Structure 1
């Protein structure tokens, strides 16, 4: 497919799991792709090499999403290296699980920095370069709208915040022809939440489809929003969750 030919995408947290699947899919659809990583250098460079071998340009950049300066610098480096930016995918994330009473100010600050501050900073930096038809896609979570179980207050709060952020961006940037949307995965088989891990059976029982999704399922929705089919979709929250939110 070449729907994204000539486009440049930046995917944060693109070294593994959902982020890597998104990076590969956007490249398969014709985009050149920059991906960031915080610690998994070898994995990130392997994904970038795979994309390059497929005929697209790719670059792996170290940028800890907890550091707003690093996030902004990744946007600027993308434009400096590739000459433009068309698609921003805010994917980097961490999972916070534990009793509400045990959360600290430090844990709160880190989760909010990665899930809320980083997408805000990246979107602000990207908005200076995005042209008409630009896309900002943020990976949220089904837990941002329906928590369903204890011990996920901090994580859910951070993922709920990106909904308001993206709806605001849709209003602020719409006049320039830039869209902003949220994709909310449910139980997806990755190393952060493996389909054979502890608690996986309980998660499956809450899914009308009865099984985990794959990272490619999320990537397909991101690709649709990034491509021509997403041109009239903005301020939307799209669940890829096997019916968890139904």
Structure 2
């Protein structure tokens, strides 16, 4: 099935889709400032649709923007977001991989790509992508926690410990991080270290018990 038929069109935006279907370039490639203006116009249209929640129409507009400006990483990132939002995970991955290749030092592209790989069941690629995110954003504790939780979930316990230790170094007063690292150490059989971090979690406030319990249930479910 072609991507156009998968995208369809939002009911509130049939006039825009019809306009794009009749748009012609006379067989000539538009260049320079005109190309940039056309790309920006389609992108801005996509932004309007996205803010209204019209993701299919937004995706169509972003696709046009990408056609005019194929080397614009941000345009591809927005297109990827829309594809992901309407359930086209593989298409979202393709566009985000292209955005990442255009701007390889953009940590958020690696982070978002890791989340898409998880959705697609590509766990080793997800871990590698999140590791890249932490490499390019070494001061971001949250990236390290997400990496640690993913590694814990799929029993890459040594990698989980490394990531959560980095998160705690960046945010030592976060009780949830200590509790999760305690779980990792317990899984590794390091009972003394596990107990130390559980105690740290107990004395720190606030303690996001709901978040930690959700992670524990998820991990337990994968182990059964």
| Common topology (TM > 0.5) | no
Q: TM-score, normalised by structure 2?
A: 0.30
Task: Give the number of the structure whose residues are more often strand, by fraction.
Answer: 1
Higher relative contact order (CA 8 A, sep 6+): 1
Q: Which has the larger radius of gyration?
A: 2
Task: Give the number of the structure whose residues are more often helix, by fraction.
Answer: 2
